[in-house]
Amino acid sequence: MQKPEIAVRIGYFTNTYPRATDTFIQREVKGLRERGIDVRTFSVRKTGSDHDVGPEVLAEKRSTFYLLPANPIGLLIDNVATLLSHPSRYLGALRLALRTAQPGLRGLLYQMFYFQEAVILARVLRRQGIEHLHNHLGDTSGTVTLLACMMAEISYSITIHGPHLFFDPTHWALREKVKYAGFIACISYYCKSQMMLFSDQADWGRFQIVHCGVDPQHFGYIEVKQPAKKLLYTGRLAAEKGLPVLFESLKLLGQQGYDYELTLVGDGNDRKSLEELARQMGIADRLVFAGFASQDGVRDYLMQSDIFILPSFAEGVPVSLMEAMACGIPVIATYVGGIAELIEPGETGLLVPPSDPAALRDAIARYIDDHSLREKVSRQGREKVMSDFNLDKEVDKLAQLFRIQVGRS
Please tell me the predicted confidence (pLDDT) of residue 407: 86
Shared domain for 294 and 396, answered yes or no, is: no
pLDDT band at 1 (very low <50, low <70, confident <90, very high): very low
Shared domain for 360 and 398, answered yes or no, is: no
Query: How does pLDDT run across 397-408, given as a tens digit for each residue?
Result: 999 999 999 986
Q: Which domain holds residue 180?
A: 9-213+391-405
Mean pLDDT for 250-257 is 97
Q: Say which residue, 220 or 126, is predicted with more confidence.
A: 126
pLDDT band at 6 (very low <50, low <70, confident <90, very high): low
Cβ–Cβ < 8 Å for 253, 361? yes
Please indicate, yes or no, if residue 222 is contained in any of the structural domains: no
Cβ–Cβ < 8 Å for 263, 293? no
Query: How does pLDDT run across 381-395, given as a tens digit for each residue?
Result: 999 999 999 999 999
User: What amino acid occupies position 173?
Assistant: A
Of all residues in the chain, what percent carry a pLDDT higher than 90? 88
Please indicate, yes or no, if residue 4 is contained in any of the structural domains: no
Shared domain for 282 and 308, answered yes or no, is: yes
Of all residues in the chain, what percent carry a pLDDT higher than 70? 98
Instruction: Report the C-alpha gap between 215 and 222 in whole angstroms.
Output: 15
| Full DSSP string of 101-150 | SPSHHHHHHHHHHHHHHHHHHHHHHHHTT--EEEEES-SHHHHHHHHHHH
Give the CATH number, domain containing residue 340.
3.40.50.2000
pLDDT band at 334 (very low <50, low <70, confident <90, very high): very high
Please indicate, yes or no, if residue 134 is contained in any of the structural domains: yes
Mean pLDDT for 129-146 is 96
Query: How does pLDDT run across 161-209, given as a tens digit for each residue?
Result: 988 899 999 999 999 999 999 999 999 999 999 999 999 999 999 999 9
Shared domain for 285 and 150, answered yes or no, is: no
- Domain total of the chain: 2
- C-alpha triplet 396, 148, 130: angle, nearest 5°: 45
Distance of CA 210 to the CA centre of its chain: 12
Shared domain for 296 and 160, answered yes or no, is: no
Please tell me the predicted confidence (pLDDT) of residue 175: 96
pLDDT above 60 for 93: yes
Shared domain for 70 and 92, answered yes or no, is: yes
Instruction: Report the C-alpha gap between 167 and 177 in whole angstroms.
Output: 16
Please indicate, yes or no, if residue 44 is contained in any of the structural domains: yes
| Full DSSP string of 150-172 | HHHT-EEEEEE--SHHHH-TTTT
Please tell me the predicted confidence (pLDDT) of residue 408: 60
pLDDT band at 24 (very low <50, low <70, confident <90, very high): confident
Residue spans of beta strands (DSSP E) within 293-335: 307-310, 331-334
Shared domain for 395 and 382, answered yes or no, is: no
pLDDT above 80 for 64: yes
pLDDT above 70 for 320: yes
Please indicate, yes or no, if residue 2 is contained in any of the structural domains: no
- Helix, strand or coil, per DSSP, at residue 4: coil
Shared domain for 254 and 129, answered yes or no, is: no
Cβ–Cβ < 8 Å for 211, 190? no
Shared domain for 188 and 235, answered yes or no, is: no
Shared domain for 80 and 198, answered yes or no, is: yes
Instruction: Report the C-alpha gap between 356 and 245 in whole angstroms.
Output: 7
Distance of CA 23 to the CA centre of its chain: 8
Q: How many CB atoms lie within 10 A of CB 88?
A: 8
* Residues in Cβ contact with 345 at an 8 Å cutoff, skipping those fewer than 6 apart: 351
Please tell me the predicted confidence (pLDDT) of residue 220: 87
pLDDT above 70 for 5: no
Query: How does pLDDT run across 201-239, given as a tens digit for each residue?
Result: 999 999 999 999 998 778 889 899 889 999 999 999 999
Shared domain for 163 and 282, answered yes or no, is: no
Please tell me the predicted confidence (pLDDT) of residue 31: 95
Please indicate, yes or no, if residue 159 is contained in any of the structural domains: yes
Shared domain for 24 and 163, answered yes or no, is: yes
User: What amino acid occupies position 111?
Assistant: Q
pLDDT band at 409 (very low <50, low <70, confident <90, very high): very low
pLDDT above 80 for 35: yes
